[in-house]
Every structure is written in structure tokens, then in C-alpha cells.
Amino acid sequence: MAAAEQPHGASFSGRVGWGRRPGLVVIDLVRAYTEADGPFALPDPVPAVETIASLVTAARAAGHLVVWTKVRYVPGLADGGLFVRKVPGLAAFAENAEGRWGELVLAPLPGEPVVVKQYASAFFGTSLASTFHAAGVDTVVITGLSTSGCVRATATEALNHGFRPQVVRDACADRTRILHDSNLVDLDAKYADVIDAEEALRHLRGAPDDQATGTEAVVDS
């Protein structure tokens, strides 16, 4: 973004860059968002789903870790705290809820972790940080739904945990374009690098440890 377009000023919008080993997280890519009658239905989730699928394919082919997340609550929502009071629609993710809204749209492969969470951030109260640290991941490529909610919270927490967050703008979606764009601008200014799918694919197509810190991966033509 050009300086004239940056509303936060010169004190913001540095770059965390890429480390040596990326990992991909797919946040809450579930039917509740992608189905037209879902409780959190998005107006046009298909482009983001297709982009996520291409990133997953690239990460798998290069041997990078792919982690999936989804929300699940016990019957009665006792593990949802005040979050389920603030967002009543989360009751759709209770184990005994009708509609199977918590089902993933794309299928994880055997061995790919599926992190179950109760709050917006994929890191809060979960094993995600430990999983990435144990795998040597230093750069988290963030995709999923929705931009202003769980994607934003996960990106912020990734930075707090010492990872380099890379949010793929065309692999996320929200209820309005304004929500999507404004949150990406703010994330890029303060908490993450917001990138396009082309850049993400360029890095994910490199084998683990083939990437130099702070530089783009070299991709054979």
C-alpha cells in the first residue's frame, strides 16, 4: 500500500517477512460459513475456498505442515464462556446441534492436525503453538473464515507467540467487502503481513528449510 493510502502513518506497516519453514493454518472452513442457509453464511465464499484448496495442495506437495481448525462445544455450551452469550449463533457448533454446521468443507489428510477451539483465536486454549513449534515452523500462513473474526484473532496471536504471520487476502472472506478490506488494512499495519495468493504459493512450493529469512523463496521455472 502506498504511503498516501496508509491511514495509520509512518510508525506502522513494517514487515515481519518469511522465515525458513512455513506452516499453513486453515481456520474454520466449515459449512456454517459456506452454505447459503448457514448461521454465519457469507455472500460469496467460493473464491476463498478455491484459493485455500490451491494453497493446501501446494503445502502438501512440498511437505509443509497443514493444520485445520474448527469450533465445537459440549451440549449446553458450558465450555463457551461469555463468547457464546455475545454470539448466540455459536450454538450451531454444539455437539448435539442440528445441521452439521461444524463440518469442514475440505477434507484433511490422515496425519494433518485438526485443532478444536472454543474461541476466535486458533491459539487460545489449544495445542496449535506447541504443534508449530515442535515442527520447526516459524512462519504461519493464515487462511480461512472470517477475516474480521477468527482470522484476525489468529493473526494477532501468531505474532504474540513469536511466529511470522502471513495473512492471504484472497484466501479469507467476510460478510461484506468493507469488513474484509478494513480488517486486512489494519492487520497489515499492526500485526501481520497481508499478502496475495501468488506470493503465498511461491513460498509454499519450496521444500522446508529451502527459504532464506526475510526473502522470497527461489522457485524453479
**Is-contact 67 73, C-beta < 8 A?**
no
Which residue is it, cell 511466529?
163
Partners of residue 143 on adjacent β-strands = 26
Specify whether the CB–CB gap between 185 and 152 falls below 8 A. Answer: no
Question: Are the C-beta atoms of residues 169 and 184 closer than 8 Å to each other?
Answer: yes
Number of H helices and E strands in the chain, helices first, is 7, 6
∠196-197-202 over CA atoms, to 5°? Answer: 110
172 is annotated as an active-site residue? no
Q: Are strands 193-195 and 164-173 parallel, antiparallel or unpaired?
A: parallel
Helix (H) or strand (E) holding 172: strand 164-173
Contact criterion met (CB below 8 Å) for 72 and 93:
yes
110 contacts: CB under 8 Å, gap ≥ 6: none
Nearest one of 103, 126, 100 to 113, comparing CA atoms:
126
Neighbour-count burial of 175, counting CB atoms closer than 10 A to its CB (0-12 exposed, 13-18 middle, 19+ buried): middle
Single out the catalytic residue among 25, 105, 141, 150: 150
Residues assigned a catalytic role: 150
